[in-house]
Amino acid sequence: MGGNLKQVAREAGVSLATASRVLSGSSYPVSAELRERVVEVAARLDYVPNAQARALITGNARTVGVLVGQVGDHYFDALVDGVRRVAAEESCLVTVVSTDRDPERELASFRQLQSHGASIIIVAGSGLDDEEYRVGLAARVASFSQTGRVVLLGRHELDAGVPAVRVEADNHGAGHALGAHLRRLGHTRVGVLSGSGVVTSTVDRVRGVADGLGRAPTVVQVPQTRDGGYAGMSQLLALDADLTAVVTTADQMAIGALAYCRDHGLAVPTDMSVAGCNDIWVARDLTPSLTTVHIPLEEMGGAALRLALAEENGGLKRQFFPVQLVVRESTGPSPDA
């Protein structure tokens, strides 16, 4: 069982104030001999400092709240892994809250993290094309910024004056790269399996596909899951039986599309090309391996926390990440070319 601050002070032969100054990281001058003695005794007694009490002295509790759409989603898992990696380096405590992509729950969870003393809140996931949500999020950010720092991961349509750090990827560029790739392969009848049409990153990707193709694809909105992709293939082919390629706005949907093709006798890529987006870890190990766009999700998560920690020192306010097309076996020339 760990000792308390009074025990540390008594065994080190120093005042309670001196022990507190050493172990809290205070800049108050303490001799090297006393500092070394206090640290040695604290280690021997397994003294664990109170982070909230320390924050009163240092002004930084380094407690980080991360709001994610869904725990277990590869997209959010990668972002959180990046946050956790930097948190371990910087001795931050991370709390992850899943909102199930519910705007009301996200705002309520934001408020809860604020009430529990988080010093940094990272909203991991793009914004929504919803006025009530935008107003609510702007209000929460404004309130929290009085005592902490907020990072918005993904494109949020909030006023430039909202006091938040922003980390974004080129989602339109991701869609454009996929559309242009299929166009070069001769595909003219292309379908898109899209996630929610109110999520800004999804909207950007779908528009990018159309721009890269030079024409409007057939679009079906489905849940952004493996099963959503599987069911969506049936819907797309019902709308256009002559499709030769399908783009999905997330790799897990592409996995479902590949499974549908396998179960219904469509050879990939001979009969149907399939492409995803995000480049989750399993994409390279599928059969056939999945053509996709690499979004540097872990790097974005890490950058979000680094920028938040740098804010107090006048750090950057925004970081934009490029994306990269990764061509694998699941796309090939159009059978109509």
- Alpha-carbon span 157 to 174, nearest angstrom: 19
- Alpha-carbon span 283 to 291, nearest angstrom: 8
- Alpha-carbon span 329 to 80, nearest angstrom: 29
Does one domain contain both 204 and 277?
yes
Amino acid sitting at position 5? L
Average the pLDDT over 81-109 and give the result: 92
- Alpha-carbon span 187 to 243, nearest angstrom: 9
* R_g of the chain, CA atoms, integer Å: 25
Order of strands across the sheet with 218-221? 218-221, 190-194, 245-248, 273-275
Say whether pLDDT at 38 is over 60. Answer: yes
Q: Write down the pLDDT at residue 16.
A: 84
> Does residue 330 form part of some domain?
no
Helix or strand run (H / E) with residue 320 = strand 318-321
- Output the six-digit token pair for 12: 């080190």
Q: Write down the pLDDT at residue 314.
A: 57
Q: Write down the pLDDT at residue 258.
A: 98
Q: Write down the pLDDT at residue 74.
A: 86
Q: Could you tell me which residue, 178 or 311, shows the higher pLDDT?
A: 178
pLDDT in tens, 282-296: 999 999 999 999 999
Q: Write down the pLDDT at residue 1.
A: 45
> Does residue 328 form part of some domain?
no
Q: Write down the pLDDT at residue 57.
A: 47
- Output the six-digit token pair for 179: 């559309």
Does one domain contain both 48 and 80?
no
Does one domain contain both 309 and 252?
no
Q: What CATH number is associated with residue 16?
A: 1.10.260.40
Average the pLDDT over 242-269 and give the result: 97
- CA-based nearest residue to 151, from 315, 277, 295: 315
> Does residue 144 form part of some domain?
yes
Rounded to two decimals, the pTM is: 0.81
Question: Which are the contacts of 158, defined by CB distance < 8 A and separation ≥ 6?
Answer: 127, 134, 137, 138, 141, 152, 164
Average the pLDDT over 105-118 and give the result: 88
Say whether pLDDT at 50 is over 60. Answer: no
Q: Mean pLDDT over all residues of the chain?
A: 89
Average the pLDDT over 100-115 and give the result: 88
- Alpha-carbon span 172 to 168, nearest angstrom: 11
Q: Write down the pLDDT at residue 257.
A: 98
pLDDT in tens, 67-81: 998 888 888 999 999
- Alpha-carbon span 194 to 217, nearest angstrom: 11
Phi, psi for 120 (deg, rounded to 5): -135, 135
> Does residue 332 form part of some domain?
no
Does one domain contain both 210 and 289?
yes
Does one domain contain both 113 and 179?
no
Amino acid sitting at position 97? V
- CA-based nearest residue to 273, from 188, 332, 208: 332
**Domain that includes residue 131, residue range:** 63-169+297-323
* Strand extents, DSSP E, 125-224: 149-153, 165-169, 190-194, 218-221
> Does residue 329 form part of some domain?
no
Does one domain contain both 160 and 305?
yes
Distances 67 to 64, 86, 176 between C-alpha atoms, Å: 10, 17, 29
- Alpha-carbon span 60 to 72, nearest angstrom: 30
> Does residue 102 form part of some domain?
yes
Does one domain contain both 256 and 180?
yes
Q: What CATH number is associated with residue 182?
A: 3.40.50.2300
- Alpha-carbon span 258 to 147, nearest angstrom: 48
Res. 56 pLDDT band, cuts 50 70 90: very low
Does one domain contain both 133 and 154?
yes
Does one domain contain both 35 and 104?
no
Amino acid sitting at position 199? V
Res. 326 pLDDT band, cuts 50 70 90: very high
> Does residue 258 form part of some domain?
yes
- Output the six-digit token pair for 311: 């804010």
- Alpha-carbon span 193 to 221, nearest angstrom: 6
- Output the six-digit token pair for 28: 């108050």
- Alpha-carbon span 238 to 114, nearest angstrom: 48
* Tally of structural domains, the chain: 3
